[in-house]
Structure 1
Amino acid sequence: MAKNPPIGDNARRGAVRDRSQVFNPVTQTWIKRNAGTGQFMDQQEDCDPFKGIRKEHKK
């Protein structure tokens, strides 16, 4: 099992599960979304994507 010591350093290693992000071309921002319900959770203030969250690709 992987460990992320030291505890309390506020650092995450690895991807966040059950979340994804999609780019909104109208506002030029990334939007975080819950993969289980599909509900939008958060929007990035700058143009950079969220760290550690997988991107949804166009189909």
Structure 2
Amino acid sequence: MAVNKPVGDNARKGAVKKRSQVKTTLGGATAWTKRNKKSGEFMAVKKVAKKTKAAKKFKGVRREKAASR
């Protein structure tokens, strides 16, 4: 699990190990979906900003490789 000490410095030491994120499409634009690694449940989606076509990634969350076709 990530270590967040000292309290109040707004910095994370290490990655969030129990979650991962995957790139998805949401209404024709690129979005990032956060997923629980243990249960496989989708937890949250980073929505696309109005003026851009791609959403920003979740901070400190590992990225899954896209499935090859």
Alignment TM-score > 0.5, same fold:
yes
Quote the residue 2:66 is aligned against.
58
Give per-residue Cα distances to partners, 1:30-58, cap 9 Å, x unaligned.
Answer: 00000000000000123111111011002
Q: What code does the residue aligned with 1:4 have?
A: K
Tell me the TM-score normalized by structure 1: 0.77
Alpha-carbon offset, residue 9 of structure 1: 3.6
Identical positions, percent: 45
Q: Which runs of 4+ in 1 moved over 4 A?
A: none
How many residue pairs were aligned? Answer: 56
Return 5+ residue gaps in structure 2 as ranges. 49-54
Structure 2 residue corresponding to 1:29, chosen from 28, 31, 43: 31
Tell me the TM-score normalized by structure 2: 0.67
Q: What code does the residue aligned with 1:52 have?
A: G
Q: What code does the residue aligned with 1:12 have?
A: R
Return 5+ residue gaps in structure 1 as ranges. none
Quote the residue 1:4 is aligned against.
5
